[in-house]
Structure 1
């Protein structure tokens, strides 16, 4: 769910999801674009499907799919509330403690809060947050996406293009995923640009410039209007500076780092293929990473790409089915995020 920049997310049209599977691998294209550098070896990708529970591409058979596609509305409502409580609770706690270490901790934790907003907005973009479409889209836009600077409808269009043909010609984030593995120096430079706000300013500048565009202006004004409401709230509370220090600045810095780390761990170094095991990484999930990098089960990303109609709460169950079938193997699974990031930065430096 990486493409949250209005200038990039607004361009691709929403695809016809029945238009067919992604095209076969193209070695010449991979070489030209720097794709496929971290694809698992063929022996780690056994051809074991279909089974009595899974179809050829890994999707569940209709009976199982109906079970896995149930949307738990009440639990998802609690998740939305929890995001708001965590975000504004962090700010309130920092104000109450009023200690330098508390302010630093709040700054970092607010970067994580934007991950929570964005990932539930991603769930709403898939129309999986609530079964009633009006509630799904209203909460997805106004409660989750716009506070986190996400152009909800434009993101939905580009994200469906991403799902229809990962790393294909219409991939909105191809530059984010290509050229891996890279050198450690290149990896360090990317993360430094994120951490000091260079990447964040690029995104913010794109939002501000979108006001000049007749097509992008409406959503840009909605996002900016939502930010104005937040600033007004902090001002009425007597602390307008908190909007800059604990809202805008963490979004421009900490969130950019977390977003890159997660996005690269999803598709970095992979390639266009009808086999989702060649487009999407799977990383064993552990609690620290689930807290910081991949909350709301977004770390079960291969299962999400196998069947994007399965709500996030059921992705571990779908993943278990893929493992039980022998389709997801230990050899094609990264033991943790650190191991995957080390692989992403494993290209030797040439003199």
Structure 2
């Protein structure tokens, strides 16, 4: 667990030695001094969205690049398992175990790739043609990662419509921060040992009892059966799917998903000013590799205009900075610094 947290940051400088954004004592919302009132500007509307001419440019969907991105996700998951199987038979036992441990961690990271690209498809930003977008989003991205695509889309759009509002689907995940270090440790431990993963898996199994949810549950399970059989037939190892697909999803991915989610909205509040709903974090290549692939770390830009494909979120973020709406003082210098702030509540006396 601590290893994964360290992987997401290049710098190991203590948060106490660097300046962090000031936030209100009761939550993680930035103080008013960090939220300059500059809107509208030449390139931003009164809500912070790009003006129409800029919006049109930023919203172009790159079909070919996204087809390659989908292929890369499978290469970094099934391709990774294929490589591990090929390499380990040529290694002594100790070296082979090291390779399999690395593969286990990387497979947890692979679910971040599936999740973020399926999120892109849920926004209809993966391919211009709706039918292609949804077909690929469901069968090649969401269902392999145990995600009920259309239900996720409905809940996620409710999230964007009113972040931290009464219909926020993930409100319980974001509320109550900052918490104590002990509480953070307990949450991440439950994720790391599979308790949170089992709750998610049990929810999928219980969906078979519902006439409405059963068709989607059948599709997800069908895809998982195909993966199980395919990996077994291709490798001759029946244990490849349960140990290196299902288990990383139930453990490593749950840690990554929580760390990413609270870094997006943990402790924020309901507001039309999205600087009060969404954190801003400086991006590092290590964090982008492990936790926030496909530019999802530029999350405030995504919430400012959810119609911008991930390839152009850094460009939109630059506009927000250049127009003076996002300042350097608003940014956390690293994810580790933000997680420390999120777990900075003193223990009860």
TM-score, scaled to structure 2: 0.90
Any gaps of 5 or more consecutive residues in structure 2? 1-23, 89-95
- Residues 196/35 of structure 1: CA separation in 2 closer, same or farther (3 Å cut): farther
Q: Which of 331, 340, 349 is the equivalent residue of 2:329?
A: 331
Q: Does residue 191 of the first structure (1) align with residue 188 of the second (2)? A: yes
Q: Which of 54, 60, 74 is the equivalent residue of 1:64?
A: 54
Aligned to 2:291: 293
Q: Does residue 105 of the first structure (1) align with residue 109 of the second (2)? A: no
Deviation at 1:240, TM superposition (A): 1.6
Query: How many residues are paired up?
Result: 318
Instruction: Map residues 151-170 of structure 1 onto 2, 5 A cutoff.
Output: 151-170=148-167
Q: Which of 109, 132, 135 is the equivalent residue of 1:135?
A: 132
TM-score, scaled to structure 1: 0.89
Cα separation, 2, equivalents of 1:74 and 1:328:
32
Which aligned runs of 4 or more in structure 1 are off by greater than 3 angstroms? none
Cα separation, 1, equivalents of 2:75 and 2:232:
19
Aligned to 1:228: 225
Question: Secondary structure at the residue paired with 2:77?
Answer: helix
Q: Which of 112, 124, 141 is the equivalent residue of 1:115?
A: 112
Question: Secondary structure at the residue paired with 1:211?
Answer: helix
Deviation at 1:36, TM superposition (A): 6.5
Cα separation, 1, equivalents of 2:103 and 2:120:
26
Cα separation, 2, equivalents of 1:322 and 1:66:
16
1:281-319 Cα deviation digits (max 9, x unpaired): 010111000001100000000000000000000000000
| RMSD of aligned Cα (Å) | 1.1
Any gaps of 5 or more consecutive residues in structure 1? 1-33
1:202-236 Cα deviation digits (max 9, x unpaired): 00000000011011101011000100111110221
Aligned to 2:74: 84
Q: Is the 8 A contact 1:35 1:179 kept in 2?
A: no
Question: Secondary structure at the residue paired with 1:194?
Answer: helix
Aligned to 2:85: 95
